[in-house]
């Protein structure tokens, strides 16, 4: 319980920091005035980004770049057809086998590994994402502030922190809600639930426009409800708790299908391979994953099962068997990035670096600046001390595309090995900051400032970033008193 309280305090501290930095105070609107002082999109994004960093720091996000890229791609397709086409969205997998998904302010959408594994079609997964996208585009979180009446700023922030924490740990979320205010919390939950039908309606239209099967949404909700209708309510999937599915709601969604053209959407290979990959990455152990796919390929020799078996075999060090599982797949589809990347990683694990770099070079030509390839390639280069090549690869990627904690972790190693001490500490600082470790981020900047021989450019960068992080820490400490 102490750990849960600590996590809740950490989240609410981060959230309050974001709001205080964004403005001197939050002006909660007058009751009934929906056009009043709601949270601006910029503040929403900063709030969501703080929450996302806290998840990173707690290790809640599934650290698998291919899964992250798949979710981002399918999410991007949905957003393109939504009312938020110009807004930035971040889709990410949560490393939990429970069935849940959630939308945080600013376009941050998390999907549990367990939910992805429990979908039976790509349209079902897209339906969940479309539902969450609709919560964002309809600004349901911002509208919840309009219901806050005379709630204080810390209480409003704590309310959001508890609601978001609840999607990861229902017990901690419930305890936090109770601690804030039982009456206010219930009102907030009830208001959130009234948004579900709107998210269904907008999400189904979005699914159809994006050329998925709109039946995917009600099909998934109905299957979850039927599968758990005889279950003790205490064991219901979190998704049914945070997204209450009633018979009338499913009926409304099913009846609404008449408004859209019938569409049989074929599952993409990427969807099937992602499910297999998650089964391996999120397995209880590498041995357990091997057992699962050994049985799976015997019962169903699909490409996805052979791919999953190859990954599992790699995990337990059976490299030759892994190659035998993978090579027939590559022969059938020699441009498939997942197959080729799996082969490259088999060769790295087996220390056949010469063979691995042949595959990486081909992959990098086929898919230039594809994050999973860049990160895996750079890591392999560092393993054999080809530091300058790794650094050049990472810097080129960083100039053109968005960076994250994985990027900065590898860049820090490359810069340090190359003797660029200040740049290494700057990269480490960003890694810690994006991991929700603000104090450690500041510590790295202070170390860099003492490195000596700083040019004007380095001094300006360090001073500017240090001042930003110091302000955040001051506000967090004040809130925690």
Give the global pTM.
Answer: 0.84
Residue 471: C-alpha distances to residues 20, 354, 442 (Å):
10, 48, 11
Q: Are 337 and 363 in contact (CB under 8 A)?
A: yes
Neighbour count for residue 274 (Cβ, 10 Å):
25
Higher pLDDT, 468 or 46: 468
Residue 395 predicted with pLDDT over 70 = yes
Residue 52 sits at the vertex; the CA angle it makes with 135 and 63, to the nearest 5 degrees, is 110
Q: Supply φ then ψ for residue 92, to 5 degrees.
A: -150, 150
Domain-embedded: residue 390:
no
Sign of CA dihedral 295, 298, 302, 305: positive
Domain of residue 16: give its range. 2-259
Statement to judge: residues 236 and 324 lie in one domain: no
Number of domains in the chain: 2
Torsion of CA 89, 92, 96, 102, to 10 degrees: 10
Domain-embedded: residue 377:
no
Statement to judge: residues 204 and 325 lie in one domain: no
203: region left, alpha or beta (phi > 0 left; psi from -120 to 50 alpha): alpha
Band of residue 140 on the pLDDT scale cut at 50, 70, 90: confident
Q: Are 93 and 110 in contact (CB under 8 A)?
A: yes
Band of residue 38 on the pLDDT scale cut at 50, 70, 90: low
Q: pLDDT digit string (tens) for 88-123?
A: 899 999 999 888 898 888 899 999 999 999 999 999
Sequence-distant (≥ 6) Cβ neighbours of residue 245 within 8 angstroms: 221, 222, 224, 225
Distance, in Å, from the CA atom of 428 to the CA atom of 266, rounded to the nearest integer, reads 43
Residue with tokens 């110009």: 86
DSSP structure string for 60-121: -B---HHHHHHHHHHHHHHHHTSTTTTS--EEEEES--S--EEEETTTEEEEEHHHHHH-SS
Statement to judge: residues 48 and 134 lie in one domain: yes
Q: Are 94 and 110 in contact (CB under 8 A)?
A: yes
Statement to judge: residues 212 and 307 lie in one domain: no
Statement to judge: residues 151 and 289 lie in one domain: no
Statement to judge: residues 226 and 334 lie in one domain: no
Count CA within 13 A, CB hemisphere, residue 278. Answer: 28
Distance, in Å, from the CA atom of 424 to the CA atom of 421, rounded to the nearest integer, reads 5
CA 182 to chain centre: 30
Band of residue 186 on the pLDDT scale cut at 50, 70, 90: very low
Statement to judge: residues 312 and 232 lie in one domain: no
Statement to judge: residues 321 and 228 lie in one domain: no
Max distance between CA atoms of the chain, in angstroms, equals 70
pLDDT of res. 235: 55
Q: What percent of the chain has pLDDT over 70?
A: 76
Which of residues 329, 351, 367 is at a domain's end? 367
Distance, in Å, from the CA atom of 48 to the CA atom of 443, rounded to the nearest integer, reads 24
Higher pLDDT, 90 or 24: 90
Token pair belonging to 178:
């109770």
Domain-embedded: residue 381:
no
CATH code: domain of residue 317: 1.25.40.10
Which of residues 317, 340, 367 is at a domain's end? 367
pLDDT of res. 194: 72
Q: Are 109 and 102 in contact (CB under 8 A)?
A: yes
Token pair belonging to 52:
């996302």
Please tell me which of 177-186, 312-321, 466-475 the model is most confident about, judged by mean pLDDT. Answer: 312-321
Q: pLDDT digit string (tens) for 247-265?
A: 777 788 888 888 888 888 9
pLDDT of res. 296: 97
**359 burial level (CB within 10 Å; 0-12, 13-18, 19+):** buried
Statement to judge: residues 174 and 137 lie in one domain: yes
Mean pLDDT, rounded, for 288-306 = 97
Nearest partner of 246 among 231, 230, 229, judged by Cα: 229
DSSP state at residue 24 = S
Domain-embedded: residue 252:
yes
pLDDT of res. 8: 47
Domain-embedded: residue 374:
no
Higher pLDDT, 363 or 240: 363
Nearest partner of 462 among 419, 411, 413, 428, judged by Cα: 428
Helix residue spans in 316-386 (DSSP H): 319-332, 337-349, 353-366, 371-383
> 3-state DSSP: the chain helix, strand, coil percent, rounded to 5?
70, 5, 25
Domain-embedded: residue 82:
yes
Helix (H/G/I), strand (E/B), else coil: 451: coil
pLDDT of res. 339: 98
Residue 356 predicted with pLDDT over 80 = yes
Q: Which residues of 299-315 are buried (b: 16+ CB within 10 A; e: fewer)?
A: eeeebbbbbbbbbbbbb
Sequence-distant (≥ 6) Cβ neighbours of residue 45 within 8 angstroms: 88, 105, 106, 107
Band of residue 183 on the pLDDT scale cut at 50, 70, 90: very low
Domain-embedded: residue 270:
no
Residue 179 predicted with pLDDT over 70 = no
Statement to judge: residues 249 and 345 lie in one domain: no
Which of residues 367, 397, 421 is at a domain's end? 367
Statement to judge: residues 205 and 78 lie in one domain: yes
Domain-embedded: residue 56:
yes
Distance, in Å, from the CA atom of 90 to the CA atom of 170, rounded to the nearest integer, reads 23
Question: Could you tell me the end-to-end alpha-carbon distance of the chain, in angstroms, rounded to an integer?
Answer: 20
pLDDT of res. 363: 97
DSSP structure string for 367-381: STT-HHHHHHHHHHH
Mean pLDDT, rounded, for 339-364 = 97
Average pLDDT of the residues of the chain: 82
Nearest partner of 97 among 79, 118, 78, 83, judged by Cα: 118
pLDDT of res. 237: 66
Band of residue 347 on the pLDDT scale cut at 50, 70, 90: very high
Q: List the single range of 12-21, 173-182, 247-256, 333-342 with lowest mean pLDDT.
A: 173-182
pLDDT of res. 224: 81
Q: pLDDT digit string (tens) for 205-238?
A: 999 999 999 999 989 988 887 766 655 455 556 6
Mean pLDDT, rounded, for 468-479 = 78
Statement to judge: residues 253 and 307 lie in one domain: no
Helix (H) or strand (E) holding 465: helix 456-480
């Amino acid at each position: 319980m102490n750990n849960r309280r600590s996590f809740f305090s950490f989240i609410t501290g981060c959230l309050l920091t974001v709001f205080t930095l964004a403005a001197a105070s939050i002006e909660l609107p007058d009751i009934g005035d929906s056009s009043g002082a709601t949270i601006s999109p910029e503040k929403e994004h900063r709030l969501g980004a703080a929450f996302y960093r806290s998840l990173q720091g707690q290790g809640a996000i599934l650290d698998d770049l291919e899964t992250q890229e798949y979710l981002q791609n399918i999410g991007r397709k949905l957003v393109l057809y939504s009312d938020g086409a110009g807004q930035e969205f971040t889709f990410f997998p949560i490393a939990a086998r429970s069935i849940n998904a959630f939308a945080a302010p600013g376009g941050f959408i998390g999907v549990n590994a367990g939910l992805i594994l429990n979908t039976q079609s790509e349209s079902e997964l897209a339906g969940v994402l479309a539902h969450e996208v609709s919560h964002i585009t309809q600004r349901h979180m911002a509208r919840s502030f309009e219901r806050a009446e005379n709630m204080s700023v810390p209480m409003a922030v704590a309310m959001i922190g508890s609601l978001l924490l609840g999607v990861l740990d229902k017990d901690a979320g419930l305890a936090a809600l109770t601690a804030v205010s039982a009456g206010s919390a219930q009102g907030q939950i009830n208001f959130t639930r009234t948004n579900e039908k709107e998210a269904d309606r907008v999400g189904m239209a979005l699914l159809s426009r994006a050329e998925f099967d709109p039946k995917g949404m009600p099909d998934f909700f109905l299957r979850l409800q039927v599968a758990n209708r005889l279950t003790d309510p205490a064991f219901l999937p979190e998704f049914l708790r945070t997204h209450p599915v009633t018979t009338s709601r499913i009926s409304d969604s099913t009846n609404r299908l008449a408004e859209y053209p019938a569409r049989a959407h074929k599952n993409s290979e990427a969807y099937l391979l992602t499910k297999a990959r998650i089964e391996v990455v999120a397995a209880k152990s590498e041995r357990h994953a091997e057992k699962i796919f050994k049985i799976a390929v015997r019962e169903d020799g699909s490409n996805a099962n052979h791919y999953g078996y190859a990954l599992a075999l790699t995990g337990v060090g059976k490299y030759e068997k892994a190659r035998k599982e993978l090579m027939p797949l590559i022969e059938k589809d020699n441009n498939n990035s997942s197959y080729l990347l799996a082969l490259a990683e088999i060769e790295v694990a087996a220390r056949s670096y010469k063979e691995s770099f042949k595959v990486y070079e081909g992959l990098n030509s086929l898919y230039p600046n594809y994050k999973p390839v860049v990160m895996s390639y750079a890591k392999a280069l560092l393993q054999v001390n080809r530091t300058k090549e790794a650094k050049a690869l990472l810097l080129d990627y960083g100039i053109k595309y968005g960076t994250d904690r994985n990027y900065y972790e590898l860049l820090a190693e490359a810069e340090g090995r190359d003797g660029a001490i200040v740049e290494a500490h700057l990269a480490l600082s960003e890694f810690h900051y994006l991991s929700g470790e603000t104090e450690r981020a500041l510590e790295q900047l202070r170390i860099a400032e003492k490195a000596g021989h700083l040019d004007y450019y380095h001094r300006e960068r360090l001073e500017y970033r240090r001042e930003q992080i110091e302000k955040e820490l001051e506000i967090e400490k004040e809130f925690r008193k």
